[in-house]
Amino acid sequence: MYASIDDIPLTSACHARETLEGRNSLREMGRKGKLNLRGNPGDAAFSAAVQKAFGMELPLRANTYNEFQSRRLFWLGPDEWLLHCDMDDIDALTETLSAELGNVHHAVTDVSDYYTVIRLRGPDAVTLLRKGCPLDLHHTAFPTGNIAQTRLGHASVLLHYHDDGETWDIQVRWSFAEYVWDYLLSGMRAR
């Protein structure tokens, strides 16, 4: 777990944690708790335990999420999910979930340090993402509230389009964070 704000991947790579270029901004969202969860959604005991521990149902449709308070539970695959939560809650949530699951076949992994989230915001955000993302990001094909696991340049990312219509959260493996940051920044400077 990050010991301090200075241990967040980009900040420790001597980057600014936040930058404004013209009408658009980039910001690394620090210290977010992330739990990877594997299990069989067809097993009623598994679904019930998750519901009880997280306060929400498992999202079962591809590329959707559910939320409860400050927590978001993302679909990653037919037997895999990712929880975003407050960093301070992660230990308690892990314990509660493990207790609820007991002997039910499952795996829970704290991946808080494995990924970081970069927030791209501004009227040119979609244009900047289109530079390296093969998805159709037009708002008619990819409305607000949508998420998708896809590619941005050479990096695998989890995109989340927020309801305000100009904010995108880009979750990326920390080893790709600097690449994605620079990739977006070079586009922002060219605008």
Partner 1 sequence: MLLIECPWCGQRDQTEFHPHGEAHIARPEDPDALDEAAWGDYVFFRKNPKGLHYERWVHSHGCRRWFNVMRDTVTDHIHASYKPGDPKPELPITADGGDTTGTPKT
Binding-site ranges for partner 1 (CB under 8 A)? 62-63, 76-78, 80, 134-135, 148-151, 156
Choice between 149 and 167, CB closer to partner 1:
149
CA distance 168 to 165: 8
Choice between 96 and 146, CB closer to partner 1:
146
Q: What angle do CA 165, 19, 90 make, to 5 degrees?
A: 70
Contact 83, 32 (CB under 8 A): no
CB of 39 to partner 1, least distance (A): 15
CB of 33 to partner 1, least distance (A): 22
What stretches of 30-104 adopt beta strand conformation (E)? 32-39, 65-68, 71-77, 80-86
CB of 101 to partner 1, least distance (A): 23
- The torsion region of residue 145 among left (phi > 0), alpha (psi -120 to 50) and beta comes to left
Choice between 158 and 188, CB closer to partner 1:
158
CB of 62 to partner 1, least distance (A): 5
CA distance 158 to 165: 17
Choice between 96 and 150, CB closer to partner 1:
150
CB of 90 to partner 1, least distance (A): 23
CA distance 187 to 169: 17
CA distance 20 to 27: 9
Q: What angle do CA 46, 56, 92 make, to 5 degrees?
A: 80
